[in-house]
C-alpha cells in the first residue's frame, strides 16, 4: 500500500519516462541481436544496396575482401584504447579515486545520473578511458547502492560514446583539420587548416556540450526505475568480476623474478616516454599532437607509472586483453562494409543527394542527417571524416557555410548512431559482462531525445557563425 501510494505521488512525466525506458529495455533484451550479428546484418544490407545499383556479386565480394583488413591499424588502436584505459583505471591510485567517487550516490536514480555525468565529462578528455572508468565506477556503486537497474546503469556508463565525446579533445576530425601535415593534400586545397579555435573551442560547441550533458543526465534520472521495479545484475545472473589491482602481487620467488617486482625498468621506460611526449607536443604545437596514437601512448606510460612495478602492470594488461575479442573479430567486418560502400559508389550517391537538396541555411542540418545515417553502417569514429570531408567542405565553400562548424556538424552527428550500434559498446561489454541488448533499450531512449536536439542545435547555431574562406 505504501509503495502504491508512493508511485501515485510521482509526477506523470516521471512515470511515463520510467515506463518508456523499461519498455525499450525489455524490447531490446528480446529483439536486439548480439553485436556480431548486428555487424553481419549491416554487411547484408550494404551488399544488397550495392546489388540494387548494378554492382555484380563478384565485384561486391572483391570489394569486401580487399578491404577486410584495411582497419587493422585502427583495430589495434581500439584494442589499445581498451587495454590502456583498463590498466590506468585499475591501478591503485585511480581505484582509490573511484572508490571515493562511488560513495556519493545513495539511491538508484541518483546513482545512474551520477554515472552518466562522470562518463560524459571523462569522454571529453578521452572516450576510451571514459568507458573503462565508467565501467569500474558502475561496479563499485552497485556494491553500495541496492536496487539499481543494471540496464539503466550500463547505458549511463556508455553515454560518453553516445553524446559529446567527439566534441571534446579526442575528436579525430577536429584534430586532423588543425594539423596541416596530417591533412591529405587534396582535402587541404578544399579546407585549408581549420584551427581548434574554430571547432572545439567555439562558444557554440561549448553550449552544445552543456545542453547535451544536462539532457543526458536528466533522461537517466527520470527513466531509471525505482528499486522495487529494477532488474538488477543479480537478477540477470551477471557477476561483476573484481578487476586486477596493483596490491597483492606477491614477492619474487626466484632471482629471475626480481626485476618484475622492481620499479627500475618502469622508471627507465616512463622517462623515455615522457621525453618523447614532450618532444611531440612541443614540435606539433600542443593540442595538435592529440591523435589516437598519442592518446594510447600516454595511457600506456601512465599505466606503467601508476602500477609502478612491472608485475602489477603485466597482470592488469593480461586481464584487459580478453576484453578486446569482440573488437578484433568485428572490426574487419566493418572494414569490408567500408570497401563495399566506396567500391560501389553508394557513399557518393548518398552525398550528392543530400548536397543537392541543401542551402546555406540547411547544409548543417542535412549534413548532420547524412553523417548520422552513414555512421550507422560505418561506425569508424573519426575515420570516415576523410571520406566525407571533401564533398561536405566543398559544399560548404559553395554555399558559404562556416567550415569549422561543418567539422562540428560531423562530430555531433557522428555520435548519434553510437547509441544503438554495438560497434563501440564492445569494450564496455567486455568489462561488465553485459550484452548489447542490455544497453540498447535505455540508449535508444537517449537517442530519441538527442537526435532532434542535436540536429536543431546544429542548424540554429550554424547561423551564428560567418563563413571564413580556407586558409
What digits encode the pLDDT tens for the residues 147-195? Answer: 888 888 888 888 887 788 889 877 878 877 877 766 777 778 888 888 8
Residue 9 confidence class, pLDDT cut points 50, 70, 90: very low
- Listed residue (269, 458, 277) closest to 358, CA to CA: 458
What digits encode the pLDDT tens for the residues 265-302? Answer: 999 999 999 999 999 888 876 666 666 678 789 989 99
HSE toward the beta carbon, residue 250, CA cutoff 13 A: 8
What digits encode the pLDDT tens for the residues 58-95? Answer: 999 999 999 888 777 777 877 887 788 788 888 889 88
pLDDT score, position 305: 95
Q: Which residue has the higher pLDDT, 312 or 257?
A: 312
Q: Please give the distance of CA 63 from its chain centroid, rounded to a whole number.
A: 27
- Listed residue (207, 122, 190, 146) closest to 406, CA to CA: 190
What digits encode the pLDDT tens for the residues 12-41? Answer: 444 676 677 667 666 666 666 666 777 788
Residue 97 predicted with pLDDT over 80: yes
Whether the CB-CB separation of 173 and 404 falls below 8 Å is answered with: no
Q: Which residue has the higher pLDDT, 284 or 216?
A: 216
pLDDT score, position 381: 55
Entry pTM: 0.76
What digits encode the pLDDT tens for the residues 373-416? Answer: 877 766 555 556 766 777 788 888 888 999 999 999 999 998 88
Residue 235 confidence class, pLDDT cut points 50, 70, 90: low
What digits encode the pLDDT tens for the residues 103-156? Answer: 999 899 999 999 999 999 998 887 777 887 888 888 888 888 888 888 888 888
Q: Which residue has the cell 627500475?
A: 264
To 10 degrees, what angle do helices 363-377 and 385-399 make?
A: 170
Q: Which residue has the higher pLDDT, 3 or 437?
A: 437
Task: Please calculate the CA angle 285-288-290 and round it to the nearest 5 degrees.
Answer: 120
d(CA 113, CA 105): 9
d(CA 212, CA 199): 17
Tell me the H-state helices in 285-362.
Answer: 292-307, 310-320, 325-344, 346-356
Residue 455 confidence class, pLDDT cut points 50, 70, 90: very high
Residues 6 or more apart whose CB falls under 8 angstroms from that of 198 comprise 402, 403, 404, 468
Whether the CB-CB separation of 416 and 451 falls below 8 Å is answered with: yes
Residue 10 predicted with pLDDT over 50: no
What digits encode the pLDDT tens for the residues 240-256? Answer: 555 545 445 667 667 77
- Listed residue (433, 379, 451) closest to 236, CA to CA: 433
Amino acid at each position: 500500500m505504501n509503495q502504491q501510494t508512493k508511485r501515485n505521488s510521482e509526477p506523470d512525466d516521471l512515470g511515463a519516462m520510467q515506463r518508456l525506458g523499461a519498455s525499450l529495455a525489455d524490447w531490446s533484451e528480446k529483439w536486439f541481436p548480439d553485436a556480431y550479428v548486428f555487424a553481419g546484418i549491416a554487411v547484408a544490407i550494404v551488399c544488397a544496396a550495392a546489388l540494387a545499383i548494378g554492382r555484380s556479386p563478384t565485384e561486391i565480394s572483391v570489394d569486401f575482401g580487399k578491404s577486410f583488413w584495411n582497419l587493422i591499424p585502427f583495430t589495434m588502436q581500439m584494442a589499445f584504447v581498451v587495454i590502456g584505459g583498463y590498466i590506468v583505471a585499475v591501478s591503485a591510485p585511480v581505484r582509490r579515486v573511484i572508490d571515493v567517487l562511488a560513495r556519493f550516490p545513495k539511491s538508484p536514480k541518483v546513482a545512474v545520473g551520477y554515472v552518466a555525468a562522470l562518463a560524459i565529462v571523462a569522454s571529453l578528455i578521452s572516450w576510451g578511458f571514459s568507458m573503462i572508468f565508467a565501467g569500474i565506477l558502475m561496479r563499485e556503486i552497485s556494491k553500495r547502492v541496492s536496487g539499481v537497474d543494471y540496464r539503466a546503469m550500463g547505458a549511463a556508463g556508455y553515454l560518453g560514446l553516445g553524446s559529446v565525446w567527439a566534441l571534446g579533445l579526442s575528436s579525430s576530425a577536429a584534430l586532423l583539420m588543425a594539423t596541416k601535415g596530417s591533412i591529405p593534400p587534396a582535402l587541404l586545397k578544399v579546407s585549408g587548416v581549420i584551427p581548434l579555435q574554430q571547432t572545439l573551442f567555439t562558444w557554440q560547441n561549448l553550449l552544445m556540450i552543456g545542453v547535451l550533458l544536462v539532457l543526458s543526465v536528466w533522461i537517466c534520472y527520470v527513466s531509471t526505475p525505482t528499486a522495487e521495479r529494477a532488474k538488477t545484475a543479480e537478477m540477470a545472473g551477471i557477476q561483476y568480476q573484481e578487476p586486477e589491482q596493483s596490491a597483492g602481487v606477491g614477492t619474487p620467488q626466484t632471482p629471475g623474478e626480481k626485476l618484475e617486482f622492481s620499479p627500475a625498468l618502469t622508471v627507465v621506460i616512463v622517462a623515455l616516454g615522457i621525453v618523447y611526449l614532450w618532444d611531440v607536443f612541443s614540435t606539433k604545437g600542443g593540442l595538435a599532437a592529440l591523435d589516437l596514437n598519442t592518446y594510447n601512448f600516454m595511457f600506456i606510460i601512465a599505466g606503467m607509472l601508476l602500477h609502478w612495478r612491472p608485475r602489477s602492470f603485466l597482470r592488469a594488461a593480461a586481464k584487459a586483453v580478453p576484453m578486446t575479442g569482440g573488437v578484433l573479430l568485428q572490426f574487419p567486418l566493418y572494414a569490408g562494409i567500408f570497401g563495399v560502400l566506396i567500391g560501389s559508389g553508394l557513399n557518393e550517391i548518398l552525398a550528392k543527394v543530400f548536397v543537392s537538396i541543401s542551402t546555406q541555411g540547411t547544409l548543417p542540418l542535412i549534413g548532420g542527417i547524412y553523417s548520422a545515417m552513414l555512421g550507422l553502417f560505418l561506425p569508424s569514429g573519426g575515420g570516415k571524416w576523410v571520406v566525407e570531408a571533401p564533398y561536405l567542405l566543398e559544399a560548404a565553400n559553395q554555399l558559404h557555410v562556416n567550415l569549422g562548424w561543418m567539422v562540428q556538424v560531423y562530430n555531433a552527428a557522428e555520435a548519434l548512431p553510437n547509441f544503438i550500434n554495438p560497434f563501440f559498446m564492445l569494450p564496455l561489454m567486455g568489462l561488465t559482462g553485459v550484452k548489447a541488448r542490455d544497453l540498447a533499450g535505455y540508449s535508444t531512449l537517449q537517442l530519441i531525445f538527442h537526435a532532434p536536439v542535436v540536429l536543431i542545435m546544429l542548424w540554429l547555431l550554424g547561423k551564428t557563425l560567418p563563413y571564413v574562406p580556407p586558409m
